Structure 1
Amino acid sequence: MQARDVFTADEIKRLSQRSDLVGAALVLHAWALIAGSMALVVWLPNPLTFILAVMVIGGRQLGLAILMHDAAHGLLFRTRRLNEFAGQWLCAFPVGTDLLLYRPYHLKHHRHTQQADDPDLVLSAPFPISRASLKRKVWRDITGRTGFTRRKQQIMATWGPMGAEPGLSWRERWARLQQGGLVGFAIVNAVLWAAMTVAGLWWLYPALWLLPLLTWYQLISRIRNIAEHAVVPDNDDRLRNTRTTLAGVWTRLLLAPYWVNYHLEHHLLLSLPCWKLPAAHRLLMAKGLRDQMEVRDSYAKVLRMATSAVGEGGGGSGGAKPAHI
């Protein structure tokens, strides 16, 4: 199944149109929600607004990663230089990723989706798992253990463990840090902290930037990964080895920003900017393909499938043997 088997040439052309204006609006929207959530806590400090802010900011941090993903496909902005700059400095570096490292890795995932050479297969192959296993993972995510572990692994992978490779010079190690995105992460985060400090609100950085990044962002990233490819019915069918999960307003705000839930549509037509994904979904529904597609009504239903002994419909993880977790 190819995109041209489903969409007409005119539909592909219309759906694939990019926009500098919309790209700028999306990036601005993400940062405005982050700033607005912080402002809400400053204006009305209490446990409820703080927890809500952590969730909204963590959701927008994932949103920045999603916009970086669009930039990796060259879709966030029509102008290439703007796409690369904003995708790296305004989306990737703030949350500790690197557009240039992510792009080849991610494109390989698209070439080999749910196949042996898929670099993301490790994320979906272990499912289904037990509820107890998922609860342990959720606890590690929400308490920050996952976030700290991943950041440590990122540093070790680029800088190298202390005492390892003694022949490397400090200049060579510094170059590694730059290639791993850690220098960019440090620069952008230093600017964020400095701006908050100048405003007399230095505490916002650890409380409402780092905390969401190390907790809520980790949890919803896990849920998104599960929803996209875990317990899919058929690893060899492009309409069934990737999942679209329907989402309401609150889910889109806190868990699935910028239409990331329309993952099947993204895999079917890689030239779709994220804001065109709902239109592609409506077209597929209008063409009567609903029964051939892996579409689920909610993330809660997907998680129930992912924590069952056998995936709904007998699909398991597309035939992959579950690992013991």
Structure 2
Amino acid sequence: MKLLHHQQLREWSKLRSWRNFGWLALDYACVLLVAGCAVGFHIVCQEQGYYWAWELPVVLLAVFHLGILQHRIALMGHEASHGLLLPSRVWNDRVANLLCFYPLFSDIRLYRKRHVGHHLHPNDHEQDPNLFGGKVERIWAKFPMGKLKFARCFYLMFFWPPFVLRNLLDLFLTLSAGTQGAAGTVARKSPLPLLGRIWFILSSLLLVSCVAFGVRSWPLLLCMTALAVCVWAWHPAQAFSAEGGMTPKVLKQNALQKLSFNAMLLLVVGVLSERFGGQVVVAFIVLWVCPLIYVFPYLMLLREIYQHANAGTEDLDNSRIMHVDPFTRWALLGYGNDYHLAHHLYPNIPHDRLAEVHDALLRESGDYAKAVAESYGVVQAPPGRRSILDLLAR
């Protein structure tokens, strides 16, 4: 394939970090707005003495939209995994962890470890980490698939908890537990990541227990945090294996950063619970943890299917370009994921320049123009065009 001119690529590769931070700020503002409206409606219902069932539709709608916003935050984390958030690799990862990965109980190193393999072997049933965990047999082998069957197998399955929770398990094994499914586990010399997860689980249980029994939680949480910091300080940096260009010292600092974030999260929830009551913990679980468990993994799977199912393994057929309605683009294919083939060809170009890359490739590369699969709409396409579901069915 004819490549684009290097001067064009240099221009497109320039980071405009302020734009990404602006989009992230907007996503988090929407999180606060949606959660605030749900909490406000709950307070009004309580004051008016309404039966709790009146709140259910509003809460479910809020959970769905918060899951979408979590997915958008994760997509910005995907940008950061390519080093496209900040010019400095160390600060790119630190800021991405604080703003994108830690709030989703993940880590940029674990995500990048899998995502690099996906870019090296897209759609390869043996080597693409995105297809580990039996996803080839459970999902990819079903394609090509007609529209009605797709709606039955995927759209309606959103309302079947075992289907969604099975996808959550795939996501957890890769992004939180540090494993890579069928390929084995991520080797670590240090037990600190495991100890950190145990500390967070025990601290969370302690917080819930204190709220349930009316005990002040923050002194106990502070003691547990101090103990965890002592374990971190005692742990030698040499116990961390250098990886991805990061020294053991930087990895140890990142461990402290994650510990600090989790400790602050628990302390804030604990202090707010003592001020406003145990409903703060319930609100956090319902409006943040539940979308993360149920809506977020479903959106991750659906996006992967749109991008890669029924596609090949070569450079020009491993994904597609998708022109979709504004809501689908916002909820599912934001931050350049609608131009996913262009991203696979040039993964170091920021998301807001991928449309220009696609247009340039159509003009300058006959191979690309001939091979690219473009879709228009999700279910139904204009006359003479193909929708995403048409591409999944051919």
Q: TM (normalized to structure 1)?
A: 0.74
8 A Cα contact 2:111 2:175, kept in partner: no
Equivalent position amino acid for 1:22 in 2: R
8 A Cα contact 1:92 1:98, kept in partner: yes
Which 10-residue stretch deviates more, 109-118 or 59-68?
A: 109-118
> How do 1:190-209 and structure 2 match up within 5 A?
190=266, 193-194=269-270, 197=273, 200=276, 202=280, 203-209=282-288
Structure 1, unmatched stretches of 5+, are 160-171, 313-325
The alpha-carbon deviation at position 267 of structure 1 amounts to 0.3
Runs of 4+ with >6 A deviation = 179-183
Provide closer, same or farther for how the CA distance between residues 304 and 189 of structure 1 changes in structure 2, counting only shifts above 3 A: farther
CA distance in 2, matches of 1:91, 1:58: 14
Question: Which of 16, 19, 38 is the aligned partner of 1:19?
Answer: 16
Provide closer, same or farther for how the CA distance between residues 195 and 242 of structure 1 changes in structure 2, counting only shifts above 3 A: farther
Quick check: which has more Rg, 1 or 2? 2
CA-to-partner distance for each residue in 1:35-58, whole Å, 9 max, x for gaps? 121122234565554344323211
Instruction: Compute the RMSD of aligned alpha carbons.
Output: 3.6
The alpha-carbon deviation at position 33 of structure 1 amounts to 1.6
Provide closer, same or farther for how the CA distance between residues 55 and 252 of structure 1 changes in structure 2, counting only shifts above 3 A: farther
> How do 1:160-179 and structure 2 match up within 5 A?
174-178=192-196
Q: Which has the higher contact order (CA 8 A, sep 6+)?
A: 1
The alpha-carbon deviation at position 15 of structure 1 amounts to 1.2
Provide closer, same or farther for how the CA distance between residues 221 and 28 of structure 1 changes in structure 2, counting only shifts above 3 A: same
Aligned residues: 292
Q: Paired residue for 1:37?
A: 34
Question: Which of 210, 214, 229 is the aligned partner of 2:289?
Answer: 210
Q: Paired residue for 1:235?
A: 313
Equivalent position amino acid for 2:17 in 1: D
Structure 2, unmatched stretches of 5+, are 43-54, 180-189, 202-257, 380-386
Q: Paired residue for 1:120?
A: 130
The alpha-carbon deviation at position 290 of structure 1 amounts to 4.5
8 A Cα contact 1:239 1:264, kept in partner: yes
- More helix by proportion, 1 or 2? 2
Q: TM (normalized to structure 2)?
A: 0.63
Provide closer, same or farther for how the CA distance between residues 254 and 11 of structure 1 changes in structure 2, counting only shifts above 3 A: same
> How do 1:158-307 and structure 2 match up within 5 A?
174-178=192-196, 184=258, 186-187=262-263, 190=266, 193-194=269-270, 197=273, 200=276, 202=280, 203-232=282-311, 234-236=312-314, 238-287=315-364, 289-300=368-379, 301-303=387-389, 306=392
The alpha-carbon deviation at position 73 of structure 1 amounts to 0.9
CA distance in 1, matches of 2:362, 2:4: 12
Equivalent position amino acid for 1:244 in 2: I
Q: Paired residue for 1:138?
A: 158
8 A Cα contact 1:226 1:303, kept in partner: no
CA-to-partner distance for each residue in 1:166-191, whole Å, 9 max, x for gaps? xxxxxx75543548997848547536
Equivalent position amino acid for 2:36 in 1: A
CA distance in 2, matches of 1:38, 1:126: 39
SS in 2 for 1:245: strand
Which 10-residue stretch deviates more, 296-305 or 246-255?
A: 296-305
Provide closer, same or farther for how the CA distance between residues 36 and 135 of structure 1 changes in structure 2, counting only shifts above 3 A: closer
CA-to-partner distance for each residue in 1:194-247, whole Å, 9 max, x for gaps? 576478461431221112111211211111110111101x322x2211122222
The alpha-carbon deviation at position 69 of structure 1 amounts to 1.4
8 A Cα contact 2:157 2:163, kept in partner: no
CA distance in 2, matches of 1:139, 1:270: 34
CA distance in 2, matches of 1:198, 1:280: 53
CA distance in 2, matches of 1:26, 1:181: 33
Equivalent position amino acid for 1:112 in 2: H
8 A Cα contact 1:41 1:53, kept in partner: yes
